[in-house]
Amino acid sequence: MCGRYSQTASLEEISRLFGVTERLNLPPRYNIAPTQDAPVVRLDKDGARQLLQMRWGLIPFWAKDQKMGNRLINARAEAAATAPAFRDAFKARHCLVAADGFYEWRNEGGKKQPWRITLTDGGPFAFAGLWERWRDAAGAWIRSFTILTTDANELVKPIHARMPVILDPKDHEAWLAVGDTKAQAALLRPFPAEAMRAYRVNPIVNNARVDEPACIAPLVDEAVEERKLL
C-alpha cells in the first residue's frame, strides 16, 4: 500500500510535468498523510488539465459519512474496475497525483523502519489516481482521491509487497482520458526498478503532524543501503 508520500517540487516543475497553468500555493510537503489535502491533476468539463487540491481518501458518492474515505486511500489496480467503492470513478474520473517520493515500512530488528522511494533523479512524478465528489449534510461538495497500487518491483519488494502505480509521462494523457478502460488498466504496472532508488529515513515520518525536511533526509549513506536491497 501507500500510506505516506512527499511532494516537494516547485509549482514551476509541476507545471512543466503536467502541462497545467493554475497558480496554486503549493508549499513543499514532506509527509502527506491520509485525510489531508494534496495536489492532483484532472480533466475539467472542457477536457483541459486542471491542477487543484483534493482530500486523500476517496469518499464514494453513495457514502453516508466522509469517514469512509479514511480507509480508501489506496485501490488495488487488479480490482479497482469492479470494486463498489471505485468502479464508477474508474470509468470516468481518473487523475494524476503529484509526488516526488513515497514511504514504505520494513521490519528490521523487530521495529518498523521507514524507507523513502524516489526516482533516481529525485524529480516529480505522477501516481495513477481516481477521484470522486461527495456532498456533505450541509450541501458542500468534497473532492477526494485514491492512489492505485500494484505488485512491488524488484527494488521495493524487499521492503513491501505492494507499491503505488507510477505513470510514465508519456502515459499521462491516456490515463486521464475517458475511453478504453481496458487499455488504461494495462498502464497499471510496476515502475521499472532501475529508474528508482530507496533509502532509510527517520521514524519521525510515523507522526502525521511532522511535515519538515528531516522526513526525507537519509539516515545513512544511501549507496550502502541501496546495495543491501539488491
Q: What are the catalytic residues?
A: 2, 104
Distance CA 54, CA 3 (A): 16
What lies within 8 Å, CB to CB, of 95 at 6+ separation is: 40, 41, 42, 54, 129, 130, 131, 145, 176
Rg over alpha carbons for the chain, rounded to the nearest Å, is 17
Reduced to 3 states (helix: H, G, I; strand: E, B; else coil), residue 55 is: strand
Residue 229 · residue 198 · CB < 8 Å: yes
> Which among 227, 198, 31, 223 is positioned nearest to 106, based on CA atoms?
198
- How many angstroms separate the CA atoms of 117 and 100, rounded? 9
